[in-house]
Amino acid sequence: MTDAQRYLQAYDEQLRTDAETPSAVAVMLEGPLRLVTFAGGRGFVTYRDLGGADGDAVRGLVASAIEHFSADASIDRVEWKTRGHDHAPGLHEALVANGFEAGEPESIMIGPLSALAEAGDTPEGVTLRRVETEPDVRAMSAMVDEAFGESVDARQADALVSRLARADGMELWVAEVDGEMVSGGRLEPVPGTDFVGIWGGATLEAHRHRGIYRALTAARARSALAQGKTLVHSDSTDDSRPILERSGLVRVSTTTPYDWTR
């Protein structure tokens, strides 16, 4: 097996389980599907595989998922997480027919955590630190929304504050210039596995291409190594993928989010 094949096998076996949704408020099983409810009115659909379902069965699974989430008035948006290597005949068509819209595909990147820890030195004038207080978490969340070109979503900040209060292992890291947060991201150790996730990385446009994101990634990786983790995974945009590739991660598949809004 190649490195990519070994990593993909580990990804499917270790991450596509309860480990994928540690902060879930509730999880319901519908056949092979995991129908997940998160705080803040967000639903999520994932699975280890679709159990060899044919086109008719796939359409039935999508309809069941929508029925489940539609019945809960507190949920106003749902993400169905697809993977490019899955056998899922007719899934795109079934999702679109039920009101989902496809987002931008991202690369599933996996590799040795030790290499990522050496991703880059901290640029002069930049400070890296963990954030743990509610004001800092809200400031970080707003900055990341801005960096992604999105409106500030207070519900996302609420969910992060709630998770820190539960101490589920998530870490939030930021880079600052002259006391201003300019880049941020999450570290998600996955209990009972070799993996840690690097998520939500974003840098304000005016501070890009200076090595800040690389340094922030390396800091998170060093924190994970201290916890005994050995592998790292991330869903990466075209902006962050080259940074991870230079640090020894490989693209093992793709993932595309499909979003439904009430």
Q: What is the mean pLDDT of residues 222-228?
A: 94
Report which DSSP code applies to 121: P
Confidence band of 20 (pLDDT split at 50, 70, 90): confident
Among 92-101, 170-179, 209-218, the range scoring the smallest mean pLDDT is 209-218
Residue found under tokens 């207070």: 154
- CA 234/CA 201 separation, integer angstroms: 10
- CA 87/CA 172 separation, integer angstroms: 35
**Burial tier of 151 (Cβ tally within 10 Å: 0-12, 13-18, 19+):** exposed
In the chain, the percentage of residues whose pLDDT exceeds 70 is 100
Would strands 106-112 and 126-130 be described as parallel, antiparallel, or unpaired? unpaired
The predicted pLDDT at position 131 comes to 96
pLDDT at position 115 over 90: no
- CA 30/CA 38 separation, integer angstroms: 17
Residue 254: beta bridge partners? 107
Contact 174, 184 (CB under 8 A): yes
- CA 119/CA 121 separation, integer angstroms: 7
pLDDT one-digit tens code per residue, 144-155: 999 988 888 888
- CA 113/CA 51 separation, integer angstroms: 31
Task: Identify which of 21, 18, 236 has the alpha carbon closest to the alpha carbon of residue 110.
Answer: 236
What would you report as the CA-atom Rg of the chain, rounded to the nearest whole angstrom?
A: 18
Grouping H, G, I as helix, E, B as strand and the rest as coil, residue 28 is strand
Which one has a higher pLDDT value, 156 or 91?
91
| Sign of the torsion formed by the C-alpha atoms of 45, 39, 201 and 119 | negative
pLDDT at position 120 over 80: no
**Total number of residues shown for the chain:** 262
Grouping H, G, I as helix, E, B as strand and the rest as coil, residue 201 is strand
Provide the whole-model pTM. Answer: 0.79
Confidence band of 54 (pLDDT split at 50, 70, 90): very high
Report which DSSP code applies to 82: E
**Burial tier of 65 (Cβ tally within 10 Å: 0-12, 13-18, 19+):** buried
